């Protein structure tokens, strides 16, 4: 039997890894040989050995403990033994390892403490707490780390005592561990260390990592001391505090406390900026933004010229600007180009309109484009003439931004401005104007749009025909009928697209005639239009297009038939599912899945097992629409399959469903797969029905 090569392994490593798999299959009899392989020179092979020993459970625990006590050949092997015991699946592992805490060798005791901590069993906490007084510092540190991992009231109380002992080699790791607990009781002992020069720096950073509003006041006491270095330390700790508070949901309380306590000290933070390194500048910007004083805006604006600090400074300015609009507008007016670039996406108040309008003539095209976007957010209709002028900007980005702003702003004056823009000598302006007329259906522009149909620029002529289709004017349809006879195929194709948005018998007939056009793209758009209009009278003509010489026309005909609730159309789709052309088959599968008819299920089930991945994915998407038991069974099979794209698609489709049967499949798949399988991540998406499914499975769940 051939074995697939594991990624990144040499031939000799591959052979050794395969040998580990073989030994694991032998079970208890192979334990000693597996233990001997913990010293293998390859990290990957050692990881395989660790996994095998952990999975062997009870059979491997006692031999591993004996090895730790009696052999201990190398650091690599010791680390592997600790990993294997920490990950062992046997429930009695901790009870066996705890005996090692009484060994006379401190190294063995430290290893046992590390194992118990990593197993996270509360029952181990009292024994680890006793080790905090062990004469060997390494043992005590291992116990500190273990208690920090286990957590709980007993662990926190014990670690607080270690911090207060001020034992140099034990207090440092203890305060680091305490900061990660998020227990509010740790703030006071950490704050006490601020008075001790030996622990001050680490205690301040640890207070920042608590994320607790209670840590703000103790940090403020440090500012009673002179020097910029202490201010930078406080800024770094406060920045950490603000970030951690966002993780725990305490950000509003922390921000409120920082504003109340540190607002009078802002000058010291600003004075400490010169000479700060990059992390300290970023931390200070975060603090200034959290406090939110308008007086700090000029300082933050100055940081915008620093690419590394720009992101944090911009966010800080955004926060301050939401509270102090006037200060933000002033900074926009007097700032540099980089300042304007950073501030324009933040601006959204009408009082800034005048300053923003001036930037439509800025020498930097990106500033001009962002000014258009800002005026759109502001809702400043008075600036429409200036925005129409910007349609002719030499930079395409500006023209598109101005067009988008005009679309969003609208107003009665737009139609007249758009008509005038159609007379521009610049082709780009005329194109933008036609898009605006089409989007806003500017009826007053009819005559000028008709003239634009004969524009020498073919793209403008096409856009003009599209604009005609959008206008509510009785004169439009006779013109479209005449345009369908033009010699240029691109204009006839544009006419089909225009007719497709007008629901009238005349336009339906125009599209039916388009099915017989000599140009394939005209026929393509005619098919699309009849499908969009859901013209049942065209079903036979569309079926005839299934034999068209051009593949895009055949696909378009299938898509059009998919939109018709008609027996003949359904039968044609069923036949197309059997097509030898994969594109036609996929289009037909999409069509039958949209129908919701029970007869579609067998065809989708068959296609879901196709070798072609694209076909299979389309079929699965169709099955996901159905509540049929066969459909959910096939999705379940695909979700646990070996094909990664099909598996991931099936899981995604199941996640999008809100029914109990889909939730049950996700739970069953997660239980049947290893923790790295994406079913676990899919199941983590919040949903009441998924929670109910998980709860129902808990009654019969094993420890895993």
- Which pLDDT value is given to residue 1? 32
**String of DSSP letters for 356-377:** HHHGGG-SSHHHHHHHHHHHHH
Task: Residue 667: give its domain's CATH number.
Answer: 1.25.10
- Which pLDDT value is given to residue 674? 79
The alpha carbon dihedral of 71, 72, 77, 82 has a sign of positive
Please report whether residue 613 resides in a domain: yes
Please report whether residue 415 resides in a domain: no
Please report whether residue 687 resides in a domain: yes
Return the structure tokens found at 616. 């299979």
Please report whether residue 10 resides in a domain: no
pLDDT, one tens digit per residue, over 296-330 is 888 888 888 888 888 898 888 888 887 888 888 88
- Which pLDDT value is given to residue 4? 46
Return the structure tokens found at 121. 């069993």
The alpha carbon dihedral of 226, 228, 231, 233 has a sign of negative
CA 691 to chain centre: 23
Q: How many domains does the chain have?
A: 1
pLDDT, one tens digit per residue, over 1-16 is 334 445 557 888 889 9
Return the structure tokens found at 511. 């599209």
Please report whether residue 653 resides in a domain: yes
The reported pTM is 0.63
Please report whether residue 636 resides in a domain: yes
Using CA atoms, how far apart are residues 662 and 664, in angstroms rounded to an integer?
A: 5
Contacts of 9 (CB under 8 A, 6+ apart): 17, 42, 44
Please report whether residue 703 resides in a domain: yes
Which residues form the domain of 627?
Answer: 596-704
Please, what is the Cα angle at 573 between 567 and 576, to 5 degrees?
Answer: 145
pLDDT, one tens digit per residue, over 616-667 is 999 999 999 999 999 999 999 999 888 899 999 999 999 999 899 999 999 9
Is residue 385 within 8 Å of residue 355, measured between CB atoms? no
Region 141-165 average pLDDT: 93
b/e for 156-181, b at 16 or more Cβ within 10 A?
bebbbebbeeeeeebbbbbbbbbbbb
Please report whether residue 658 resides in a domain: yes
Contacts of 526 (CB under 8 A, 6+ apart): 496, 511, 512, 513, 514, 515, 517
**Treating both helix axes as pointing N-terminal to C-terminal, what angle do 551-561 and 582-595 enclose, rounded to 10 degrees?**
10
């Amino acid at each position: 039997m051939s074995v697939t090569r594991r990624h990144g392994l040499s031939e000799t490593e591959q052979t050794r890894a395969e040998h580990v798999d073989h030994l694991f299959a032998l079970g208890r009899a192979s334990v000693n040989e597996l233990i001997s392989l913990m010293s293998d020179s390859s990290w990957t092979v050692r990881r395989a050995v660790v996994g095998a020993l952990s999975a062997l459970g009870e059979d491997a625990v006692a031999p591993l403990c004996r090895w730790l006590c009696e052999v201990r050949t190398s650091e690599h092997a010791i680390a592997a033994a600790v990993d294997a015991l920490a990950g062992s699946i046997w429930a009695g592992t901790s009870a066996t390892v705890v005996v090692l805490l009484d060994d006379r060798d401190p190294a063995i005791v430290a290893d046992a403490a590390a194992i118990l901590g990593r197993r996270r069993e509360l029952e181990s906490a009292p024994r680890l707490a006793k080790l905090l007084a062990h004469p060997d510092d390494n043992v005590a540190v291992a116990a500190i780390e273990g208690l920090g991992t286990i957590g709980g009231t007993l662990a926190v109380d014990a670690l607080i005592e270690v911090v207060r002992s001020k034992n140099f080699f034990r207090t440092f790791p203890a305060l680091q561990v305490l900061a990660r607990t998020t227990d509010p009781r740790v703030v006071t002992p950490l704050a006490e260390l601020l008075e001790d020069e030996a622990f001050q720096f680490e205690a301040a950073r640890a207070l920042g990592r608590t994320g607790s509003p209670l840590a703000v006041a103790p940090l403020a006491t440090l500012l009673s001391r002179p020097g910029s270095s202490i201010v930078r330390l406080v800024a770094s700790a406060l920045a950490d505090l603000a970030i951690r508070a966002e993780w725990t949901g305490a950000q509003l309380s922390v921000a409120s406390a920082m504003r109340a306590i540190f607002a009078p000290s802002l000058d010291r933070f600003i004075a400490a900026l010169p000479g700060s390194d990059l992390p300290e500048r970023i931390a200070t910007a975060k603090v200034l933004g959290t406090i939110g004083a308008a007086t700090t805006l000029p300082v933050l604006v100055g940081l915008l010229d620093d690419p590394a600090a720009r992101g944090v400074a911009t966010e800080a300015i955004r926060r301050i600007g939401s509270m102090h609009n006037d200060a933000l507008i002033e900074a926009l007016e007097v700032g540099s180009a980089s300042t304007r670039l950073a501030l324009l996406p933040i601006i959204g108040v009408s009082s800034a309109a005048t300053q923003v309008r001036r930037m439509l003539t800025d020498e930097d095209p990106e500033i001009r484009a962002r000014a258009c976007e800002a005026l759109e957010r502001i809702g400043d209709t008075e600036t429409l003439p200036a925005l129409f002028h910007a349609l002719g900007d030499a930079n395409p980005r500006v023209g598109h931004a101005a067009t988008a702003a005009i679309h969003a702003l609208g107003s009665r004056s737009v139609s007249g401005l758009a008509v005038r823009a159609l007379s521009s000598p610049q082709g780009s302006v005329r194109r933008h104007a036609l898009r605006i007329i089409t989007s806003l259906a500017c009826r007053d522009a009819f005559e000028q749009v008709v003239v634009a149909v004969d524009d020498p620029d073919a793209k403008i002529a096409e856009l003009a025909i599209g604009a005609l289709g959008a206008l509510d004017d009785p004169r439009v349809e006779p013109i479209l009928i005449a345009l369908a006879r033009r010699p240029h195929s691109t204009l006839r194709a544009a006419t089909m697209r225009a007719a497709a948005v007008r629901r009238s018998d005349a336009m339906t007939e125009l599209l039916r005639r388009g099915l017989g056009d000599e140009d394939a793209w005209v026929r393509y758009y005619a098919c699309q239009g009849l499908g969009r209009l859901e013209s049942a009278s065209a079903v036979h003509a569309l079926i005839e297009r299934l034999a068209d010489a051009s593949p895009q026309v055949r696909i378009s005909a299938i898509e059009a038939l998919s939109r018709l609730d008609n027996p003949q159309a359904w039968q044609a789709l069923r036949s197309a599912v059997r097509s030898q052309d994969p594109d036609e088959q996929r289009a037909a599968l999409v069509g039958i899945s949209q129908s919701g008819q029970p007869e579609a299920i067998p065809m989708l089930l068959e296609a879901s097992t196709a070798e072609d991945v694209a076909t299979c994915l389309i079929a699965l998407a169709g099955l996901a629409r159905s509540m049929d038991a066969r459909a959910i069974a096939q999705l379940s099979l695909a979700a646990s399959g070996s094909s990664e794209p099909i598996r991931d698609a099936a899981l995604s489709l199941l996640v999008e469903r809100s029914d109990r049967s889909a939730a049950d499949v996700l739970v069953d798949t997660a239980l049947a797969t290893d923790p790295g399988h994406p079913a676990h991540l899919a199941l983590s998406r919040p949903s009441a029905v998924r929670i109910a499914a998980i709860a129902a499975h808990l009654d019969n769940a094993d420890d895993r």
